[in-house]
Structure 1
Amino acid sequence: MNNVLLINASPNGLVSHANQLALELVDTLRQRHPRLELVERDLGTHPLPPLGMDYARGLATTTPFDAAEFEISETLIRELERCDILLIATPMHNFTLPAALKLWVDYVLRIHRTFSSGPEGKTGLLSNRAVYVLVGSGGFHQGEKARQPDFLTPYLRQVLGTLGLLDPHFTYLQGLVFGEEAVKAAIQDSRARLALEPLFNPLICA
């Protein structure tokens, strides 16, 4: 294990609870793999540029295309290809992905590059690897307290599967708007759940 890619989609940047928990996971991995390389892609602090007409037209051709967005796409895809573990720390916005993460998806989910399409549907072209998605939300969308739908999980699971990443693990930090004690409880619960994963056990739950 040599490389972890951390995608932080929160507008709160480094102080995002999901991102902080993801960094704890990286520290845990480094206890076993001291030379582990971390590549961080902070989509909130350094947002990606929107995709334009040239990129859209280029996707419809089979010849090389020199739109600036293709260079960005290649950089993001290579980051994915190099990583042994993908960590995604994201909030839930309006029941689904934040715009920053959706734009990242549109850059990396690219026909003939990260997936192929045929009579049987789409097939991922990336090799499978460990994927952990940490989702922060102000309210509840999982469990007995759920009062809103969750379109993020099925959509992102489909996206990752289309890339060839077939077994993503989702962890939810819920109820984050209900005060400091609720935040502590959400983080503690997520730590305990992640500690059950062989990759991160033993995870300190202090």
Structure 2
Amino acid sequence: MNILHIDCSPRPVSHSRRLSAEIMEKVLALAPAANIVRRDLGAEPLPHLTSDYAAALASPAALMAAASSNAMDLSEALIREVEAADIIVLGTPMNNFTIPSVLKAWIDQLLRVGRTIMPTPQGKVGMLRDRPVLIGISSGGVFAGEKANQPDFLTPYLSAAFACVGLMALQFLPVQATAFLNETQLASARQAALATLDLTMIGEDR
């Protein structure tokens, strides 16, 4: 089994990092021999789209012309990491109601017409094989449930973006109100989130 483990927080110790690490522990308990590929977007942010990459995506002709250049190299490397993974574990904070910019930069490289997305008259169709994507979210406020008091643009955006490339088996594990919880309450909140994790699709033979 191959696992792609992604973190997005700029802080070396953060709620989302701790949550994603605990998700990894659950996965590795079932697949201890798994190969792990680490992508730390918080510690090593990806560059935002370059002019060469943007120009290559401007039209089908430009895309074909760019095939012989290095404009797509980073995108291709990131896509291949996803293609090689049987499971993706993603830890991210909610920043201003949505994903952090470092995660958006990664997604911008992943969503590529003709490579991971096939346009059709009925809409975009994902070209990647589906696989579990386990998403640990930390939020200083409350964005879901009866006590929600702020908008949530993170989960619908990630659902749409991942579905666009064919990744449909998403599980969201939120830990909310981190700004107001003590360590004991945070540990309980993480355990409550982890209790919703469905690991029935995970096995050594993936």
How far, CA to CA, are the matches of 1:80 and 1:121 in structure 2? 23
RMSD: 1.8
Give unmatched runs, 5+ long, in structure 1.
Answer: 201-206
Distance 1:17 1:99 in 2: 18
State the secondary structure of the residue aligned to 2:179.
coil
Find the aligned partners of 2:68 and 2:172 in 1 and give their Cα distance.
Answer: 36
Per-residue deviation at 1:26?
Answer: 2.2
Q: Which moved more, 1:113-122 or 1:22-31?
A: 22-31
Deviation at 1:71, TM superposition (A): 1.1
Structure 2 equivalent of residue 92 of structure 1: 94
> Structure 2 length normalisation: TM-score?
0.89
Paired position in structure 2 for 1:10: 9
Q: How many residues matched?
A: 197
Identical positions, percent:
41
Deviation for aligned residue 1:85: 0.4
Q: 2:19 aligns with which of 21, 31, 55?
A: 21
1:116 equivalent in alignment to 2:156:
no
In structure 2, runs of 5+ residues without a counterpart are none
Determine which of 125, 143, 146 is the counterpart of 1:144. 146
**Given residue 159 of structure 1, which amino acid in structure 2 is its aligned partner?**
A
Q: What SS does the corresponding residue of 1:162 show, helix, strand or coil?
A: helix
* SS at structure 2 position matched to 1:166: coil
Letter matched to residue 25 of structure 2: D
Q: Which consecutive aligned stretches of 4+ in structure 1 deviate over 4 angstroms post-superposition?
A: none
Q: Using structure 1 for the length normalisation, give the TM-score.
A: 0.89
**Corresponding letter in the other structure for 1:121:** G
Q: Which has the higher contact order (CA 8 A, sep 6+)?
A: 2
1:129–1:165 contact (8 Å) kept in structure 2: yes
Residue 204 (structure 1) aligns with: none
User: Any conservation in 2 of the 1:90–1:98 contact (CA below 8 Å)?
Assistant: yes
Match of 1:150, SS state, is: coil
Distance apart, 1:197 and its partner CA: 4.2
User: What is the rounded CA distance, in whole Å, between the counterparts of 1:74 and 1:137 in structure 2?
Assistant: 31
